[in-house]
Amino acid sequence: MVTIRQAEEKDYPRINDFHNRYYGKNRTLEQFYWGFHNCPAGPSIYFIAEDGDRVICTNCIIPIEVIDSDGKTWLTGKSEDTLLDPDYWGQPIFYNLYKQMLERAAEKGITAVWGFTPARKPFKKLGFELPYPHSQSLMVNQLLPSYRFLKSLNPENKALDKLKIMGLCFLSKATSALHGTAKLPKNYTVARDENTAGADLLMKANLEKNPEKFSIYHSEAYQKWRIYNNPNLYKTHTFSFYDSTGSQKGYMVFNVHPDGVAYVSQSVFHPELPPEDMAGMIGYASRQLFSKEGVAMVRNWHFSHNSYNRVETRYFQQAGYTFLNRGIDFVWKELLPIPLKPENFILSRMATQGII
């Protein structure tokens, strides 16, 4: 008989084993605790379905604070760790579990649940909006390592697919060489690998210039949890940009993997920054990773659903990044009455699960 309940801490090893068996990976309990228990806004609301002593379905909601342009914070939740045992596909287990989890989240004061998914149909059935997808960009430095990495993302790639991937790598390399000419003005100084970066103040300045927008609240606790205490990140590189008065104008965080692929974890710039300066900061940080750290390629996520995200995308293009209109859907479901709308959510890779 299948039963559904909220998980307890003692269930964590069994839950983690269930995921590791299915995905063939080795997520550690340290990584599990970081992602779902030691969260800055409190432990996740984690639900499981069991058949006897066998875990067969999981999903959770991670509490995450967002902040609006008036400086007010709201408690939202991010949907994560969705998995249903294939032996039980076709049964309404996932829907029943999710409905109970949403009820519990509302009781806990979570105003809205959001996340990213390639599975459109199940979330539509649960009443979620799917207002927009994300897109991707990359900047290639070394052709062959970049090609090998991109090819490995899909083991079923055919010869034509591999040819397209190689073409993409050549295009990105050429784009970064021909168009990535943005230079960092000499009046800026750069501090590398600082832990305290002031991302919250930079985002606050952007929200003040963008009424009705909101973003994840980049508090010190959130920054430390998401980046500096994250056991999934390999080697973090931080770039903080200061003008001649000592005022911070830009902040970028990259995670560099052992395979030479770097990911933009976070980028935030002062709203009054000249466009060429923003592009210069992006280009400078990327080139530093290429020349000093031996990075083969940088990857990033982008969004185009609001003016802030569109502007950021434009300056990554100006810095020499190549864009791909391929991504998964953002999902949103309001649980309690709030004035926040999904199209006003300022998003970046900081909103992802944080495992790369």
Q: What are phi and psi of 30, to 5 degrees?
A: -60, -45
Cβ contacts of residue 100 below 8 Å, gap of 6+? Answer: 4, 47
pLDDT, tens digit, 9 for 90 and up, residues 198-234: 889 999 999 999 999 999 999 999 999 999 899 998 8
What is the average per-residue pLDDT within 141-163?
A: 95
* The two three-digit tokens of residue 204, written as one number: 């606050």
| Rounded Cα–Cα distance for residues 166 and 286 (Å) | 21
Report DSSP state, residue 300.
Answer: E
Length of the chain: 356
pTM for the predicted model, two decimal places:
0.94
d(C-alpha 17, C-alpha 13), whole Å: 6
Domains of the chain from N-terminus onward: 2-131 (3.40.630.30), 135-326 (3.40.630.30)
- Give the pLDDT score at 45: 99
As a whole number of angstroms, the distance between CA 271 and CA 99 comes to: 40
Q: Which of helix, strand or coil describes residue 247?
A: coil
Contacts of 347 (CB under 8 A, 6+ apart): 134, 215, 301, 303, 309, 330
Note the pLDDT of residue 353: 82
Give pLDDT, residue 178.
82
Half-sphere exposure of 135 (CA within 13 A, CB side): 18
Q: Is the Cβ–Cβ distance between 251 and 240 less than 8 Å? A: yes
* pLDDT-based confidence at residue 354 (cuts at 50, 70, 90): confident
Up-side HSE of residue 351: CA atoms within 13 Å toward CB?
25
pLDDT in tens, 168-187: 999 999 999 887 667 899 99
Structure tokens at 119: 């599975």
Torsion angle of alpha carbons 113, 115, 117, 120, nearest 10°? 30
Q: Which pLDDT score is estimated for 193?
A: 84
Three-state SS at 305: coil
C-alpha span between 158 and 164 (Å, rounded)? 10
Query: Residue 325: pLDDT band by 50, 70, 90 thresholds?
Result: confident
**Segment (H or E) for 264:** strand 261-269
Percent of the chain with pLDDT over 70: 98
Give the strand pairing for 73-84 and 112-117: parallel
Lowest mean pLDDT among 9-13, 129-133, 228-232: 228-232
In this structure, are residues 45 and 6 in contact, taking their beta carbons and an 8 Å threshold? yes
